[in-house]
Amino acid sequence: MRKLALSEEILNTVEKPARYVGGELNSVMKDKEQVALRFAFCFPDVYDIGMGNLGLQILYDLFNRRPEVWCERVYSPWPDLDRIMRERQIPLFALESQDPIKEFDFLGITLQYEMCYTNVLQVLDLSGIPLLARERGEEDPLVIGGGPCTYNPEPIADFFDLFYIGEGEVVYDALFDLTIRLKQAGASRQEILKAAAGIEGIYVPSLYAPRYHADGTLAAFIPLCPEAPEKVRRVIVKDMDRAAYPENPLVPFVRPVQDRVTLEIMRGCIRGCRFCQAGMVYRPVRERSLERLMAIADHSLAGSGYDEISLSSLSSSDYSDIAPLVTGLMEKCSREHINISLPSLRIDAFSLDVMSKVQDVKKSSLTFAPEAGTQRLRNVINKGLTEEDIMRGAALAFHGGWTKVKFYFMLGLPTEEESDMKGIPELCQRVASLFFDEIPKEERKGKIQITASSSFFVPKPFTPFQWAKMEKKEEYLRRAHLVKDTFRAQVNARSMHYEYHDADVTVLEGVFARGDRRIGQVILRAYELGAIFDAWTERFDDARWQQAFQDCGVDPDFYTMRERPGEELFPWDFIDIGVSKAFMRREWERAMEGIVTPNCREQCSGCGAASYGCGICPGGGR
Amino acid sequence: MIIRVKFGKEGALRFIGHLDVLRTFQKIFRRADIPMAYSQGFSPHPIMSFALPLGLGLSSEGEYLDAEIVWPEEPGEGDSCPPPDAGEGAPVPEPVPEPVPELVEGLVEGTGGGDSCPPPEAGEGGPPPKAVVGGGDLLSALRAATSPDLPIYAVRRLPEKAGNAMASVGRAAYRLEIRPEWTGELKEAAQALMARESILIQKETKSKTVEMDLRPCIHKLEVNQGDSPPHLILHLSAGSKANIKPELVWELLNAGYGERKPLSLRRLDLMLEDGTSLGAIGEEL
């Protein structure tokens, strides 16, 4: 029988005790005496959110294929358990062995969104690991960060011993080999870190020091020893068909956010939207073959027992074999009572035909993501979707029986004017009118319902908009209110619903996204003031953060309210993602002129990703 | 064919709620490649029902679910694969605390013929069985697909007219572990309680509080100290007519001793009103 770290009394007290007991189908148990390296993989949010993460599933499977490595999982304890653990000094533990994290060789933390940063500190703190990397001793686990936020790791550099820059499948083997070898040879923590810095894709922040100009901008980023390379190159999977895929995915007992098999059909995106970090940092587009995907689908469904499968990619319609893939899956799934979920499909005749077969048309809604309200602004952001595309798709959908349509927009994009803001409700109105024009009264199967939601744009590193200025919270709210008021004034206002995201969080995300090492103290201070689970709206308290900025003497406006000059050195410039800064600057300039750049399939724009020699790039193969 | 699966809940599973156990079993059947029958309608769901939900935190070695599976009914009929003779099938062991993989392997070997038979043709409308699973194989396939904390003890085939598990539950048996120093007091309290003609209690329902007599709902109350560790055995009315929680009797026995809690609380079995175990109904596969 597995032991449990928490007493029965505690488990009977806390909300959803299943979050802390492990034992799920396909979770991996090993004998800790028989392994050479123990890795605690942490998703710094509550179990229900983190459980289904595909990156975690891939690496959990990959690491555990090595007999001498045991990878276990850990999530953020919810505040109810957090309080009990602090009161009774119960150390944070991994789900599988239920052993304290402090006993592990590695604590790997996946950083999926900036608002989890205080949860990183919570996890370290509850584990009994010093929050600052420089205060850790020989016995502490090596704390390594990975995931999307590592494309600017500087705001959290003080808390990590290493970062993994790139796709997880590539160099963890080398890192584990090196660690096992050096530990057995009795090497010190510092020696291991210096050696690890030599592995492509591994960044050891303590081996670098930033220098600043008098105006606060970065002057230089200096490697402190010969082992630290000047540039850290992102590592990527070159052949997706040969990359490992979890055919026995973990299946939680409690219903997670993602209660299905995820089928990652490709990585990267041909589109090159100028606001989108994923569209840049996952270049070039690399597809899995149809044969491999069908085999993965078979194995993962059989190995997990899930009754739903979902396609995953940044833009599934751009997958070369999308039609045979979807048709093949539909045949398999209707035979075996399995549901298919098809997010991120462009609305056209093919996708509507497929969707009418796999879901209830009356209940489901169709989603468009124009991101901006006018064609002018869509050209600025290089969003390929035109008004004609939207109208044609919507007309097809209305004839197919759909009456619910969702739209996603962003406010605060560079060059945004009042006409662009008003363009959002006006576009929605034209779609509503289209419904009444296209569908005669007697054929209408329901009321048209349009839901539009907008988030506020946050400029991200490694995008053409990384130079952009943000706005103040008040200005964001003014724009949202203007959109709301314009919605109210539309003819079919009663068929339209508009909602917008929180503005407080936006500004903070902006600081974290393009912050430097001086932001670390602010995060630490906010944590001391009680901030955790900031990604949860009801737990987020902006006052705490304002206090933290003040206490640390850091001005958030420095990070958000400047349009950065073209020549400015960015804190993340030491990372080489393959896509050049010159390309992104060119894209910024084209954006300012409203010029659209063709997608990767139409024409190569010479972004630099071809240096990886794979995928869609000229000479890349596929 | 309707089958009854006897299973247990240990360790982590004690903290998994009823609905999550149901969803987990749907996955276990899929992993075991046992095709289930589906309900009709736009969103068909597998036909499966559980005897009696178990409270969060309790372990158990006597839980039951009934499931309808797509299965060749009669030996030799059409293209169907005949299930192995009952006599030749692997012996179904008594509940074991933790089924170990080696045991599962042994069971697979014990069944004959299943592998060599071609799969039955797909019927009209229904999904074709994906794999041919021989009689004893049903149990081993389920065991190979479950997690150690959700042990599966037995699979039986229910007769046509057997009531479903949920409707037929009448009693439940529990084992409450106690501290050795409590045994004397508890024995006295148990004797006194069982000697009473009626035990009137206030029971809260959704809308009102009603008075009820608990005495006829307690079918057995024993304090055992010979075995170690000492424990209480309770047989209580359960199911739709009267459902008595073991905690309620525990509180009565321990009135005057403050916040005393049993060291552990485990369900041993579910039974019909006459005391027959739900696991004794139907034929062994």
Phi, psi values for residue B75, rounded to 5°: -60, 135
The pLDDT confidence band at residue A416, using thresholds 50, 70 and 90, is very high
The DSSP bridge partners found for residue A164 are: A202
Tell me: do B118 and B8 sit in the same domain: yes
Is the residue at B105 inside a domain? yes
Q: How many C-beta atoms lie closer than 10 Å to residue A585's C-beta?
A: 15
What pLDDT is stored for residue B107 in this prediction? 32
Average pLDDT rounded to a whole number, residues A74-89: 98
Phi/psi class of residue A98: alpha, beta or left (left: φ > 0; alpha: ψ in -120 to 50)?
A: left
8-state DSSP, A596: -
d(CA B41, CA B53): 26
In this structure, the answer to whether residues B77 and B200 fall within a common structural domain is: no
- The answer to whether residue B284 sits within a structural domain is no
Beta strands in A24-82 (DSSP E): 37-43, 69-75
Q: Is A533 left (phi over 0), alpha (psi -120 to 50) or beta?
A: left
Whether residue B149 lies within 8 A of chain A, CB to CB, comes out as yes
Percent of chain A predicted with pLDDT > 70: 99
* pLDDT at residue B128, as a whole number: 42
Q: Tell me which chain A residues have a C-beta less than 8 angstroms from the C-beta of B57.
A: 8, 11-12, 17
Residue A231's contacts (CB-CB under 8 Å, 6 or more residues apart) are A574, A575, A576
Is a pLDDT exceeding 60 seen at residue A138?
yes
The amino acid that residue B109 corresponds to is E
Stretch among A15-19, A360-364, A579-583 having the lowest mean pLDDT? A360-364
Residues B6 and B138 in one domain: yes
Quote the CA–CA distance of A500 and A33 in Å, as a whole number: 52
Contact B38 A17 (CB under 8 A): no
Q: Domain total for chain B?
A: 2
Distance from C-alpha of A18 to C-alpha of A9, rounded to nearest angstrom? 14
Q: Two tokens at A562?
A: 């400047």
Retrieve residue B29's tokens.
């059947």
Burial (0-12, 13-18, 19+ Cβ within 10 Å), A528: middle
First-to-final CA distance of chain A: 49
Model pLDDT, residue B227: 64
Whether residues B144 and B102 fall in one domain = yes
Left (φ > 0), alpha (ψ -120 to 50) or beta: where does A462 sit? Answer: left
B-chain residues within 8 Å CB-CB of A302? 30-31, 33
Confidence of residue A622 (pLDDT cuts 50, 70, 90): low
Integer Cα distance of A573 and A575 in angstroms: 5
User: Phi-psi bin for A305: left (phi > 0), alpha (psi -120 to 50), beta?
Assistant: left
Identity at A211, one-letter amino acid code: R
Nearest CA of chain A to the CA of B26: how many Å?
Answer: 7
> Does ipTM come in above 0.95?
no
CA distance B18 to chain A (A): 10
- Which range of residues forms the domain containing residue B234? 179-262
- Quote the CA–CA distance of A94 and A35 in Å, as a whole number: 16
Answer yes or no: are the C-beta atoms of B237 and B52 closer than 8 Å: no
B15 touches chain A (CB under 8 A): yes
| pLDDT tens digits along A576-615 | 999 999 999 999 999 999 999 999 999 999 999 999 999 9
The residue that leads in pLDDT, B160 or A472, is: A472
For residue A610, how many other CB atoms are within 10 A of its CB?
18
Give the CA angle between residues B99, B105, B106 to the nearest 5°. 90
Q: Is B26's Cβ below 8 Å from some Cβ in A?
A: yes
Residue A354 has pLDDT above 60, yes or no: yes
Which pLDDT value is given to residue A3?
85
How confident is the prediction for chain A on average, in pLDDT? 95
Q: Are strands B200-204 and A261-264 parallel, antiparallel or unpaired?
A: unpaired
Closest CA to A5 of A94, A79, A128: A94
Angle at A94 between CA A53 and CA A41, to 5 degrees: 40
- Same domain for B53 and B144? yes
Q: State how far the Cα of B56 lies from the Cα of A342, in Å rounded to an integer.
A: 36
Q: How many angstroms separate the CA atoms of A607 and A578, rounded?
A: 8
Residues B244 and B121 reside in one and the same domain? no
| One domain for residues B14 and B153 | yes
Pairing of strands A366-371, A404-411: parallel
d(CA A348, CA B266): 57
Residues B183, B185, B191, B194, Cα dihedral to 10°: -100
* Pair of tokens at residue A58: 């891939």
Tokens of residue A207, six digits: 């081996």
Q: Are residues B184 and B238 in the same domain?
A: yes
Query: Does residue B21 share a domain with residue B156?
Result: yes
Rounded to whole angstroms, the Cα distance separating A5 from B249 reads: 30
The per-residue pLDDT for B126 is 41
Cβ neighbours for B17, distance < 8 A, ≥ 6 positions apart: A18, A254, B56
Angle at B13 between CA B235 and CA B274, to 5 degrees: 20
Candidates A380, A386, A383, A470; CA nearest to A427 is A386
Mutation to test the B interface, candidates A255, A337, A360, most B Cβ within 10 Å: A337
User: pLDDT grade, residue A259 (50/70/90)?
Assistant: confident
pLDDT value of residue B118:
37
Residue B3, CB half-sphere, CA atoms under 13 Å: how many? 23
Give pTM, 2 decimals.
Answer: 0.89
Degrees, nearest 5: CA angle B254-B260-B263: 110
Residues B157 and B184 both lie in one domain: no
CA distance A303 to A25: 10
Which of B9, B10, B30, B38 would you mutate first to test chain A, the one with the most A CBs within 10 A?
B30
Same-domain status, B40 and B149: yes
> Are B178 and B263 a contacting pair, CB within 8 Å?
yes
CATH 3.30.750.200 is held by the domain A8-233: no
Q: pLDDT value at position B259?
A: 81
Domain boundaries along the sequence of chain A: 8-233, 577-612
Residuewise pLDDT in 10s, chain B (285 residues): 999 999 999 999 999 999 999 999 999 999 999 999 998 877 788 999 999 999 888 999 999 999 999 876 544 444 434 344 433 334 444 444 443 333 333 333 333 333 333 333 433 344 444 444 555 689 999 999 999 999 999 999 998 777 788 888 999 999 999 999 999 999 999 999 999 999 998 887 778 888 889 999 999 999 998 767 899 999 999 998 889 999 999 999 998 777 888 989 999 999 999 999 999 998 887
Give the nearest chain B residue to A334 (CA atoms): B127
Structure-block tokens of residue A483: 């959109």
Q: Are residues B36 and B130 part of one domain?
A: yes
B235 within a domain of the structure (yes/no): yes
Contact A25 B44 (CB under 8 A): no
Q: Which of B16, B145, B264 faces A18 most closely, judged by CB atoms?
A: B16
